[in-house]
Amino acid sequence: MKSTRYTLAVGFGMLCLMLPGALRADTISGTISAANVQVLTTPPNIYSGTSTGTGNDTTFGVFNFSSAWTTTLTNPTNFLVSNGTFLETYATGTVSGIFTGSGTVDTSTEVTTFTENFVLASGTGIFAGETGQATLTGTGTFALNGPSTGTYTGSFAQVSAVPEPSTLVLLSTSLVGLMGLGLRKRRLA
């Protein structure tokens, strides 16, 4: 009986140690600053763009950023971003995926305000197997009449993350083991 109590206590202690890690997803959040180039590809309103820059994540530190996308002006002051791809390169791995977004352009200053929704599709290094979504909000510049070069800045935060399958297996195995120990204790009593 003493052995069963000790085993149950050890199993519960291990579950308590694992549970916070299993339910906590490492999040990405921070700031980014990049230079961009947009070229009018289909007059009068479809542009293709690329950007390169750097960012600083509050958890994982400094990273290099690159992206490509299509911008469609839906009227003189609104735009949609589509077909976006991105790559963030950290010292400990990479994160890549796709994005879409929308925004507005102040026609007098050519300053944009935008929101982009990123889907984290793959990673390497410490980000291997990571998935989730993040939102980038910020401001930039956009020349309405022809090629545009400028900068944009913004902040980003992960809005959801999916736990790794191995973490879920470990958690469920511990729960099944604890249930088994409880049933065994009842039968012995």
| pLDDT tens, position by position, 131-151 | 888 888 888 887 766 656 666
Model confidence at 167: pLDDT above 60:
no
Amino acid occupying residue 19: L
Q: Report H helices in the chain.
A: 2-23, 165-188
Q: Are residues 124 and 175 in the same domain?
A: no
Residue with tokens 């959040």: 29
Do 35 and 103 reside in the same domain of the chain? yes
Share of the chain above pLDDT 70, in %: 66
> What is the pTM assigned to this prediction?
0.69
pLDDT bracket for residue 153 (50, 70, 90): confident
136 and 186 co-located in one domain:
no
Specify whether 150 is located in the same domain as 169: no
Q: Specify whether 61 is located in the same domain as 116.
A: yes
| Euclidean distance between CA atoms 63 and 54, whole angstroms | 6
The yes-or-no verdict on residue 17 having pLDDT over 70 is no
Residue 37 belongs to domain spanning: 26-162
pLDDT bin (cut points 50, 70, 90) of residue 83 is very high
For 168, phi and psi rounded to 5 degrees? -65, -40
